[in-house]
Every structure is written in C-alpha cells, then in structure tokens.
Structure 1
Amino acid sequence: MASLQGLDLEEQMLRGTLSFDALEDAVLRCTGCTAPGRCAHWQAAHQGTRAAPPDYCRNAPLFARLQAGKP
C-alpha cells in the first residue's frame, strides 16, 4: 500500500522520518487488517497509480503524514 502512495518506507527510515518502532506498528496494523482480501483486490486494481488509500486502510494517517514530510 505504501508503494501505491509513492512512499518507500525504507527510504523514509533512512531519512529519519520513520522510526523502526513506527514501521513495526504499521506492519502490525496491516497484519491486523479486517479486510485483507479487499485490500489485495484494491491494490491489484490500482497498480501503477498514486491513488489515495481506501477508507478502511489502517495506515492511511501514517501515509498522509509521511507524504506531508512530517516525522
């Protein structure tokens, strides 16, 4: 999902805008998603685009913050 937002989370960590703990939390939010099938379908349908994440994405606030350049 991060890639579809134009975000490279490894690069964000190297820049200091994403801590290891924040990445770990994001992974846990993702793995705890209640709609993994919907998410996979959404991602497949949006490959090659920079579409905003779906409303049910638990990491949408993190992605928005990183896109805004805020740590």
Structure 2
Amino acid sequence: MPTGPSEHRAQDRREVTAVRDGPLLVEGPVRMTLEDGTVVDSDRFVVAICACRRSRTYPFCDTSHRRRVRR
C-alpha cells in the first residue's frame, strides 16, 4: 500500500518501450487524446502507437513503417 504521493505515482506509471524505426509500445489499457481533440481508447494489454504517421489505423501502428525504403 502506498504511503505517500510519490509512491502512489510510481505504482500508476505505465511502461513505454520505443522500438527502433517502429512504434511506441505502451502497457495498456490506454486513453489517448489526439491533437484534434478526438479521444481514442484501447483495452489491449500492450498498445502499439504509430510514431511515423504512415499508419492507416493512426494512432495505432499497422506496420506501415516496415515498407519504408532505407538508405
């Protein structure tokens, strides 16, 4: 049981993993507010958030980043 505010915040933290040349993996469930004010929810246990903005299912990753030509 948390004894102070800082311990409580540490327990509420979600883990985020940045994938090189890929999405951000966020421990779910998550609620995201997009820049236009739209609110998007996901109840998945891990959510892949698009970091390249190529996804047709933005803000979620659809692996479109894999089709990018690397130089």
TM-score after normalising by structure 2:
0.25
More strand by share: 2
More helix by share: 1
Greater RCO, 1 or 2 (C-alpha within 8 Å, sep 6+) = 1
TM-score after normalising by structure 1:
0.25
- Which protein shows a greater Rg? 2
